[in-house]
Structure 1
Amino acid sequence: MPIPIIIDCDPGHDDAIAILLALAHPEQLDIRGITTVGGNQILDKITDNALKVLSFVNADIPVAKGAAAPLLGKLVTGEVAHGESGMDGPNLPASKFRPVEQGAVEFMLNIIRSSQEKITLVPTAPLTNIALLITAYPEVKDRIEKISLMGGGLSHGNVTATAEFNIYVDPEAARIVFESGIPIVMSGLDVTDKAAIFEDDIVELKRRGPVSVMVGELLDFYSIYGRKMGYVGNALHDPCAIAWLLHPELFQSEQLYVTVETEGKLTRGMTVADRRKKPEYAANTEVLLDVDRQAFIKLIFDALERLDQQQLHSAEGN
């Protein structure tokens, strides 16, 4: 039976690939909805990006707009990496879909309450929507199976020396989520930096079908910032949160207590793990630390091949 999920995202190049990876596996993942939150770009832009991705592959999944800004302060966007649109690169057609009328919190609440099975949340963005949900309606925590999130990093950050982007944008929300008692699987920089796709892989994608070509164009642009920052290869951060749901055996992990620093001048947004032999608190997070990169990239390629074939069959049918 497929796992019922809600994807909470801010597309974003790697968010788009995470959505496509989930869409390619309906036998394993039942996407009940997608919510958006200000992050990689402002809310209207990233919501439009989510709808464009869904429209490109003709996936009519309901999308609800969420928080435009973090719980405190102003939004810091990822425009430097993701461009003016938030998903620069391919020239995607305008979406044929529109967001639902409900806001993200009400939308998630209704899905969780009406579902016979517990819902798994997959946030690949700042955790503002999730924090607002569980703060306003704490009773839903018992109806959430787990949270498989992309965010944080134990050894390093990418916005600052200590803070990863999704956590840095809204550390107060992240702290609420990590301390919520809901089981968490954390795909942080410790693993996502190892889930890299290289130039020859991107070249191969652009020889394939329409969805693969679109992803190759996404990665062409997304690679520019990575090269500026000294990276070899392109880390596919957000797809790790989906890939773990599909094939957890691809990853190595450790059970740890994790929380988020919200006050330190040099450490605001840092995910702090207690790795002492006798930690003060019980583990609340499965922290992913390593990945079988080749198997992970094959998973991405196979998923895109599925979507390519669907596109071609749809075109032939018309």
Structure 2
Amino acid sequence: MALPIIIDCDPGIDDAIALLSAFVSPELNILGICAVCGNQPLERTVRNALQITELGGRSDIPVYAGCYRPMFRAPIHGQFHGQNGLGKTELPPPVKEVESLHAVNFLIESCESAIARQEKITLCSLGPLTNLATALSMKPSIAGGIERLVLMGGAYREAGNRSMTSEFNMLADPHAAHVVFSSQIPTVVLSLDATHQAILTPEHVARFIAVSGRISQPLGELMAFWDRNDVRRYGSRGGPLHDPLVIAYLLAPALFTTEKARVFVEHESELCMGQTVADWYGKSGQEPNVEIVTHVNAEKVFALFYGLLARYAENS
């Protein structure tokens, strides 16, 4: 049976790659896509989500518009996604329309329905945690309908990527992250510690273009724009494969090593706002609340994605 999931995202180039990979994974039953303010303002992340579902041939998946700003702070947006969030890639205007139900209500209703059926849903968070934190603030009981949360966010042994200490998704809404990490939801975290082990190099991009059939042109454009050209930080040309690793973890968890820790999110100090602090050795006296991915088998992860995205050639 396919795993029922909800993808909460802020597309975003790496969100787009993650979504396109999930669309061709029969192991995943995507119940809906929730958009949130993050890499771009909400209006644009919703539009991008609609365009990506159409590019991937998955107009059957409903898209819901979520929170238009963080819980308490002014919005910030991504620096590496271009003016429209998808680099220089121009996709056709979406034909598909966003659902009338708010993403927060969709999350609540989906979890409550799962509880009523004595089932659970896996949540995949690729952006700021505003939608989920708002849902939990309104109905804490929905945690009972969540099997686990697999999220991309945070930085522990790695430095931050948006500030000296903080990863973008956490800095974009640190109060939401605090709410989520304070909940009892079983959580797996793919932080910069993990994503910096999987760098999408120009050589990878060339291979993806060669195998991805009808989406090869837009996929190649997205991936090429993602090249940070920061050899000093990443050790090579390219950019970290952030959000797609959430999908890879769902499909092949054996390719990842995790370590349990208690995580705290700084939401008061401006100097370290959004910093995720891991208690690896029990100094806080509190039990671990998350599993942090500490090692990625990058070679096999890329092989997984080659196989997934090649399905667009098979279905052409």
TM-score per shorter chain, which class? Answer: over 0.9
Per the TM alignment, residue 277 of structure 1 is displaced from its structure 2 partner at its CA by 5.0
Letter in 2 for 1:200: E
Q: Aligned pair 1:247/2:252, yes or no? A: yes
- Report whether the alignment pairs 1:196 with 2:199: yes
Q: How far apart are 1:229 and its partner, in Å?
A: 7.7
The residue type equivalent to 1:178 in the other structure is: F
Partner of 1:33: 32
Q: Which residue of 1 aligns with 2:222?
A: 218
Q: SS where residue 300 of structure 1 aligns? A: helix
1:250-295 Cα shifts (integer Å, max 9, x gaps): 0111011112011123211000111225551111000001101110
Unaligned runs of 5+ in 2: none
Q: 1:98 aligns to what SS in structure 2?
A: coil
State how far apart, in whole Å, the 2-side matches of 1:2 and 1:300 are.
Answer: 19
> Could you say which residue in structure 2 is the equivalent of 1:163?
166
Distance 2:223 2:70 in 1: 27
8 Å contact kept, 1:89–1:220? no
Task: Name the SS for the 2:288 alignment partner.
Answer: coil
Which residue number corresponds to residue 13 of structure 2?
A: 13
Q: Aligned partners of 1:280, 1:298: CA distance in 2, in Å?
A: 41
1:70-124 Cα distance to aligned partner (Å, 9 max, x none): 001210000x210110112322112221110011111112222223320111010
Corresponding residue for residue 227 of structure 1: 230
Contact 1:205/1:213 (<8 A) preserved: no
Over the matched positions of the two proteins, sequence identity in percent amounts to: 39
SS in 2 for 1:8: strand
CA distance, structure 2, for counterparts of residue 6 and residue 93 of structure 1: 25
Pick one of 181, 185, 188 that aligns with 1:182. 185
Contact 1:202 1:216 survives alignment (8 Å):
yes
Equivalent-residue separation in structure 1 for 2:220 and 2:175 (angstroms): 35
In structure 2, C-alpha distance between the alignment counterparts of 1:33 and 1:229, rounded to whole Å: 39
Report 1:77-116 matches (<5 A): 77-78=77-78, 80-115=79-114, 116=117
Instruction: Answer yes or no: is 1:121 the counterpart of 2:126.
Output: no
1:249 to 1:151, Cα distance in 2 relative to 1, 3 A: same
CA contact (8 A) 1:31 1:61 kept: yes
Counterpart for residue 294 of structure 2: 289
Aligned residues: 308
The answer to whether the 8 Å contact 2:15/2:243 transfers is yes
Q: Distance in 1 between matches of 2:231 and 2:81?
A: 13
Query: C-alpha distance in 2, partners of 1:11/1:229?
Result: 27
User: Is this contact kept in 2: 1:212–1:305, CA < 8 A?
Assistant: no
Deviation track 1:24-80 (CA, whole Å, cap 9, x = no partner) reads: 112x111000000000011111111111010012202100000111001210000x2
Give the residue type in structure 2 aligned to 1:305: A
Report Cα offsets for 1:4-32 as digits up to 9, x if no partner. Answer: 11000000000011111211112x11100
In structure 1, C-alpha distance between the alignment counterparts of 2:226 and 2:232, rounded to whole Å? 12
- Rounded to whole Å, the distance in 2 between the matches of 1:32 and 1:206 is 29
- Alpha-carbon deviation of 1:230? 4.7
How much does 1:307 deviate? 2.4
| Amino acid in the other structure paired with 1:184 | T
TM-score, normalization by structure 2: 0.94
Partner of 1:300: 305
Q: 2:314 maps to what in 1?
A: 309
- The Cα of 1:207 is off from its aligned counterpart by 2.7
The one-letter amino acid paired with 1:207 is A
Give the drift of 1:244: 0.8
C-alpha distance in 1 between matches for 2:104 and 2:222:
29
Matched, 1:142 2:125: no
TM-score of the superposed pair, with normalisation by structure 1: 0.93
- Indicate the RMSD between aligned Cα atoms, in angstroms: 1.5
Q: Find the aligned partners of 1:66 and 1:206 in 2 and give their Cα distance.
A: 33
